[in-house]
Structures are given as C-alpha cells and as structure tokens.
C-alpha cells in the first residue's frame, strides 16, 4: 500500500493512457489552436493549484512530440535559483542544437550575451532598489561605483545600443527557431510560474514579451492566475495594481481545463489506495454492522468531493491520510465511515474547525453551523437525507465527547404526553424536520455501539496516536 500517490507515468506511445480524468480531448482542442495560429502566441493554462495542470501539460507535451512538434519544458519553480531568467531560457534552447543549427545557436547566444551586458546592470539596480536597503550592498551587487546621475547619463548614451541589442537578439533567435522544426512552431512550456519567487516570475514574463516575442514560438504558461497576480502586486508594491490588466499584456489566449466529471477521481483514489483491503476483508465481514461501510464511505466521498471543488492534490492527501489512519482500527472496530472521512477532510482542509472540535470550545449549534459552512452543498431531495445522517452522527459524537458519560445531556427525551421521543435540537440541514432527525437519532441508538462513541474514538486514530495494525 502506498502512502502517497507518485507522479503519474507518461507513456511515450500513448501519453494519456494513465490519465484518469479523460483530459485527452482538451489536448486535442489546444493542439488545434496551435495549428490555427502557427505564427506564435502566448497561451495561459489557468487553473488552481493542485488541479493536475503539471500532469496534463507533461502528457500534452509528449502528445505534441508524437505529432512532430519540437517542445521545451521549463519548471520555473525548480529553476528560480538562477537570478537571470534569460540564462535559464537560453539554457533550455541549447537542448535543441544539432550539427545543422549549432552555428545559429552560437550566434544567438552571443547576441544574448551582448543583451545581458547592456541591460542586466540596470535590471539589477532596479531589483536592488526594491529589495535591499544598504547602498553599499547595492553597489557591490551591480558592480558599479558611479553615482546615480552617471548611471542615468550612461543609460541615455547607450539607449540606441540597447535597442539594437534587443533587435539583433530577436532576429538571431527567429532564424535559429526557423531551422529547428521544419516549419512548425516551437512549443515552449513554462510550468509552476506562480510558485517561484515573485520577482523571478515577473522577470520571466517581461523577458518573454520583450526578448522572445518572435515568430514560430508558442509559449504555454501553466499558472494559477490569481496567485500570479498576487506575485505581480508584491513585486510592484501595490495592492491596488490591476493584476489582470497587467497579465493581459503577456497572455494572448487563456484556457482553463474543465473540472473532471463527478465521481471519477475519488473512485479511482479509493481503488488506488486499496480501501477494499480493509472495508471488504473477509476477516472484517465476520462481524455485524460493517457490511455497508464501503457504500457509506463512497457516499460521503460524493458529498464532500463533488460539490466543494476540492483540488485533486488535496483529495489525494485526504485519501492517503484516511488509508493510513484506518490501519489503527482492528478488524472488529467500529469505523462509521461518515464521521471518520468527514473528520479527516476537515483536518486537512479546515484544521481550525477540527482543532476547535477537539478542544470542546464549540456549542452544538456552532458545530452544526460549522458543518454546514464546510459542506457547501446544495440541499435537495438527493442530498438532504445523506447530509442529515452525517449531521446527526457528527453532533452525536461531539455531544458524547463534550460531556462526561455519567453527566451527559441527551439530544432527545421521552415526551410524557405522547410517549414518543422528542428532539432537543433542530437540524440545520432542513427546517421543520424533527421527525426525520429523531428517526436518525433513534436508528443509531438502536442495538449497536455507534451511539456511544465519542469524537476521540476517531481523532486519536486520525492524529495517529494509536498504534498501527500490521
């Protein structure tokens, strides 16, 4: 059993063979966009962190290679140790050199060196002014001892030289690209741009725009646009900066990979982490009251994962932790998958609420309100009953935990007049649902030990405070 999901293998002959989210169709759409605009542009793949962008672009990249496209993949986050992005980008281009185009690349590299020589000191000064306070350190970084007036005078004198350096570099780069790929554009994928140092991310964008805006290069920026926008605001020191407008300067087409279809991913994770080895084991099925555990676990997955847009990476983390924590339950232990999975879910996603439950700092009504705010699900005929079952289980376990056993206030009492049980609390899922709420309470208090379990029965195992079974 794996404790984490490894990087998905991208098969060379069939790149999307291991894609569980049916995303090959989106790669086809994007490739056709490239076919429609082969001259070159910048495409942003804009999705939140943890939604599988990196896996998708790696699969798509291999698919492009299989269709005779020249591609480069650059992980900005892994390479932001390099102060000058131009060095890193040229290093990636170097991998395209052959005997046929080696001279063209050397020519382009020489132009890049001239470009760096003419422009880098001014860039360094600008960065130093923003991030460093000590003037002596600034001067050491940029390697100059002249006064600011001398620097400005030098900029004016060399203005034409800089313009020519940029023009020469772009011309040389264009010629090099034209000789690499038999008329097809070079696909340059830049991943994790939103996770690298903010000033490095902005510098990459600026250099793509000013230096690499040449025919026959298609840049693919894999980003979380909101996070990248925050980085831009940080670099320019203004929370009021219109980051969207700034990014429009660089991005020609924006595309978001659609959310996977309901149920696909959590069912895959259930199989991958081998939950059946516990829930469906012959040894466990010797005991009463466990036969519905698998169905209840998957039903709770449906409630939690198909309505709150949980990032795929967080779903993996929740499943991995759940599977590990399950190892602390013995074959005859009561699990109550509804409660168990919900508590793992909030430990990973809403830890503040999880800790408040453990510290007994919430009233029953506050527990219900917190539960509803976390679920974020439309209450309808399909979801109403499962949500109420989950609500009752959570409230009951918390009530048992909140008070000592022999001084515990019940959630219901016998009505003397009618002789029937009466709820002392109301459901937050559905108003005027006293009968249904009471029916569920009576069901979990009937015969087995589920009604007596308190929150710590689950949290001790979820927090890995109980020994794991082999």
The pLDDT tens digits of the residues spanning 404-449 come to 766 667 888 888 888 888 888 888 888 878 888 888 888 888 766 7
In the predicted model, is pLDDT for residue 147 greater than 80? no
pLDDT digits (tens, 9 = 90+) for 19-43: 988 999 999 999 999 999 888 899 9
Helix or strand (DSSP H, E) at 246: helix 243-248
* 24-255: CATH number: 3.40.50
How confident is the model over 153-195, as pLDDT tens digits? 665 566 667 777 888 888 888 888 887 777 789 999 999 998 8
Question: Is residue 266 very low, low, confident or very high in pLDDT (cuts 50, 70, 90)?
Answer: very high
Q: CA distances (Å), 155 to each of 123, 282, 333, in order?
A: 12, 79, 76
Name the residue with higher pLDDT: 239 or 455.
Answer: 455
Q: In the chain, where are the structural domains located?
A: 24-255, 264-462
What whole-number distance in Å separates Cα of residue 24 and Cα of residue 221? 18
**Cα 315 to Cα 301: distance, rounded to the nearest angstrom:** 10
The conformational region for residue 42 under phi > 0 = left, psi -120 to 50 = alpha, else beta, is beta
Residue with tokens 């004198």: 157
390, 342 in Cβ contact below 8 A? yes
Average of per-residue pLDDT across 284-303: 90
Structure confidence at residue 355 as a pLDDT band (50, 70, 90): very high
SS3 label, residue 169 = helix
What are 104-113's contacts with CB under 8 Å, separation 24+? 104/172, 104/175, 104/176, 104/179, 105/176, 107/172, 107/175, 107/176, 108/169, 108/172, 108/173, 108/175, 108/176, 111/165, 111/168, 111/169, 111/172, 111/173, 112/86, 112/169
Average pLDDT over the chain reads: 85
Between 141 and 464, name the one with better pLDDT: 464
Task: Identify the residue whose tokens are 């890995």.
Answer: 464
Q: What is the pLDDT of residue 425?
A: 87
Q: Which has the closest alpha carbon to 208: 199, 216, 217?
A: 217
pLDDT at position 151, please?
53
Closest among 398, 378, 397, 370 to 303, alpha carbons compared:
378
Contacts for 77 with CB less than 8 Å, ≥ 6 apart: 191, 192, 193, 195, 196
* pLDDT the model gives residue 124: 43
Q: Is the pLDDT confidence value at 252 over 60?
A: yes
pLDDT surpassing 50 at residue 210: yes
pLDDT at 383 over 90: no
Pairwise CA distance, residues 70 & 67, whole Å: 9
Which of 16-20, 391-395, 434-438, 454-458 is predicted least confidently? 434-438
What is the pLDDT at residue 308?
67
Q: Say yes or no to pLDDT of 340 above 70.
A: yes
The per-residue pLDDT for 448 is 66
What's the whole-model pTM score?
0.76
Q: How far is C-alpha 290 from the chain's CA centre?
A: 34
Q: 391 Cβ partners below 8 Å, 6+ apart?
A: 368, 371, 427, 428, 429
Q: What SS3 state is found at 77? A: coil
Res 138 pLDDT > 50: no
pLDDT at position 384 is 86
Q: Could you give the CA distance from residue 101 to residue 87 in angstroms, rounded to a whole number?
A: 19
Q: How far apart are CA 51 and CA 403, in angstroms?
A: 41
List CB contacts of 367: < 8 A, sequence separation 6 or more.
Answer: 357, 394, 395, 398
């Amino acid at each position: 059993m794996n404790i984490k999901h490894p990087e998905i293998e991208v098969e060379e002959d069939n790149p999307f063979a291991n894609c569980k989210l049916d995303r090959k169709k989106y790669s086809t759409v994007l490739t056709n966009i490239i076919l429609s605009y082969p001259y070159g542009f910048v495409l942003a793949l804009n999705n939140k962190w943890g939604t599988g962008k990196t896996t998708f672009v790696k699969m798509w990249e291999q698919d492009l290679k299989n269709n005779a496209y020249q591609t480069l993949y650059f992980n900005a986050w892994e390479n932001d140790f390099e102060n000058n992005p131009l060095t890193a980008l040229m290093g990636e281009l170097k991998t395209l050199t052959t005997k046929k185009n080696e001279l063209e690349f050397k020519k382009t590299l020489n132009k890049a060196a001239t470009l760096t020589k003419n422009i880098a000191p001014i860039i360094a000064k600008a960065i130093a002014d923003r991030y460093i306070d000590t003037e002596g350190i600034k001067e050491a970084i940029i390697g100059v001892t002249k006064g600011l007036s001398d620097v400005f005078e030098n900029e004016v004198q060399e203005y034409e030289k800089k313009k020519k350096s940029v023009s020469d570099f772009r011309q040389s780069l264009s010629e090099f690209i034209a000789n690499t790929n038999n008329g097809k554009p070079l696909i340059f994928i830049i991943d994790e741009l939103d996770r690298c140092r903010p000033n490095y991310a902005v510098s990459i964008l600026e250099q793509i725009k000013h230096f690499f805006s040449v025919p026959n290069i298609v840049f693919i920026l894999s980003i979380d646009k909101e996070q990248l926008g925050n980085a831009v605001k940080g670099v320019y020191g203004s929370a009021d900066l219109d980051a969207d407008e700034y990014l429009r300067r660089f991005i020609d087409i924006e595309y978001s990979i659609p959310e996977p279809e309901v149920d696909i991913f959590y069912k895959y994770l259930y199989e991958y982490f081998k939950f059946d080895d516990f829930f469906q084991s012959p040894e466990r099925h010797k005991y009463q009251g466990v036969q519905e555990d698998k169905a209840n676990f998957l039903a709770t997955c449906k409630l939690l994962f198909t309505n709150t847009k949980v990032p795929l990476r967080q779903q993996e983390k929740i499943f991995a932790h759940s599977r590990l924590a399950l190892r602390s339950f013995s074959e005859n232990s009561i699990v109550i998958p509804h409660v168990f999975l919900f508590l793992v879910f909030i430990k990973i996603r809403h830890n503040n609420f999880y800790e408040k439950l453990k510290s007994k700092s919430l009233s029953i009504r506050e527990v219900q309100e917190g539960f509803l705010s976390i679920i974020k699900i439309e209450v309808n005929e399909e979801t109403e009953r499962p949500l109420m079952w989950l609500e009752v289980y959570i409230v009951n376990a918390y009530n048992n935990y909140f008070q000592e056993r022999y001084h515990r206030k019940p959630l219901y009492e016998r009505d003397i007049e009618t002789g029937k049980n009466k709820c002392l609390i109301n459901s937050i899922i559905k108003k005027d649902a006293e009968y249904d709420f009471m029916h569920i309470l009576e069901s979990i208090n009937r015969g087995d030990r589920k009604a007596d379990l308190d929150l710590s029965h689950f949290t001790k195992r979820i927090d890995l405070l109980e020994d794991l079974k082999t």
